[in-house]
Amino acid sequence: MNLRQVELSFMLAGPTYQLNLPDWLPEVPTASCVVEFGSGGRECGFIPMRDVVLPFDADHWKELSTQKGANDIPVTVYEGLKDPKQWVLRWQLSNGDFRTHVRGTEGVDTAWLVVARLEVIDNLRGLPAVIPHYPLQRAISRRPGYQERISFGVTNPTSAEEGTGISLVRPGFLSPGQRSSSEDVGSGLHLRVLGLSSGIDMECVSALEYGLIDSILDAASNSMVAA
């Protein structure tokens, strides 16, 4: 297994980490975080340029406007034409898209508030930094769906190796060094999770046997340091 060093940080602040990952994984990961808009946490996600798809067809979406956001990055707001009502916000970054959505019950005014108060800082090399300004705020916790996630995976794998994905999840559930496992019998995929001392869980999903999965997790976790 050939390894490559990657450098990353979670979008809602924190240290920059360096770690070694298999070289078949992409250099730029996908990522998500949760921001409180006033009526509950909302997932915000980064999509690398290689995976960006524009599903905003005229039958389902209407482009309202493109305005400069809190960091002068263009933000386009799309209004959904079908129920349930929602608005999608798209920041066009140098190496991908950052997106979130506003529910119909919150109204279009909330969409424009998020455009003005959610600062997204472009990063030519990797993940953007996200800074919520009042009344928006971070909403990270151990509640299901409220964790930050960074994921490395191949979109169209051609082998079991390429079908292996690695994610970093914060905050984690496991104690440092603790491992947990589960299996999806239908797909043949194994999930192996390793708790790290930094309060992060490292997950590996793969069709490979557990011994090989553990070798991937060990190589990544043993090399992981705060830069």
Q: For residue 125, what pLDDT is reported?
A: 79
Q: For residue 179, what pLDDT is reported?
A: 95
Residue 54 has pLDDT above 90, yes or no: no
Residue 43 has pLDDT above 80, yes or no: yes
If pLDDT is split at 50, 70 and 90, which confidence band does 53 have?
A: confident
Residue 185 has pLDDT above 70, yes or no: no
Residue 126 has pLDDT above 70, yes or no: yes
| Nearest Cα residue to 6 out of 197, 217, 224, 209 | 224
Residue 129 has pLDDT above 90, yes or no: yes
| Nearest Cα residue to 199 out of 223, 154, 165, 168 | 168
What are the residue boundaries of the structural domains of the chain, listed by start?
3-25+153-226, 30-138
Q: For residue 222, what pLDDT is reported?
A: 95
Residue 155 has pLDDT above 90, yes or no: no
pLDDT digits (tens, 9 = 90+) for 29-41: 999 999 998 777 8
* Residue bearing the bigger pLDDT, 151 or 188: 151
Q: Measure Cα distances from 114 to 84, 88, 90 in Å.
A: 20, 11, 11
| Nearest Cα residue to 101 out of 110, 73, 224 | 110
As a whole number, mean pLDDT of residues 197-224 equals 93
